[in-house]
Amino acid sequence: MGAQFYINTAKDDPVAILRKHGGANMILCTAPDAGSIGQLVEGLARFGQMVVVAAPQDKVAVNTLFLLVNCASVQGWAGGTPTDIEDTIAFATAFDVKPMVETFPLAEAERAYAQMQNNKVRFRSVLDCR
């Protein structure tokens, strides 16, 4: 999918791997897991930024000494404004980004919902109402 490398966090320590590669200039947190978010802060490079776009239910513990020493930052971003959407569409068009979608027929809406609730949906889940 165009990544330079992949980190399987179930098998590897993401912070160790990020540090091995010089740290991440930017980490986009799309999963609402407070533990992972707090841990990944230490995978940032000097002046690195973490942007959190998914809200975990639990509080996120962050090593503030790491942030201070490395001039790193963490910020939240709600997104979804018309300008954000336009920028996203322009980026996807410019770089030929295609979504990965798992489609369910409307008759299987209950199964689709169960898949979503059990974290079994791959990528984006869509109900086909045609």
The answer to whether residues 86 and 66 belong to one domain is yes
- Do residue 93 and residue 130 come from a single domain? no
Task: Note whether 10 and 47 are same-domain residues.
Answer: yes
Q: Tell me: do 69 and 82 sit in the same domain.
A: yes
0.75 exceeded by pTM: no
Residues 85 and 122 grouped into a single domain: no
User: In which domain, by residue range, is 23 found?
Assistant: 1-98
Task: Say if residue 58 is in the same domain as residue 121.
Answer: no
Do 21 and 38 belong to one domain? Answer: yes
Q: What is the pLDDT along the chain (130 residues), one digit of tens a residue?
A: 567 788 888 899 999 999 999 999 999 998 899 999 999 999 999 999 999 999 899 999 999 999 999 999 999 998 888 998 999 999 999 999 988 899 999 999 999 999 988 888 888 889 999 8
Going by C-beta distance under 8 Å and a sequence separation of 6 or more, which residues neighbour residue 43? 14, 15, 17, 18, 19, 23, 24, 27
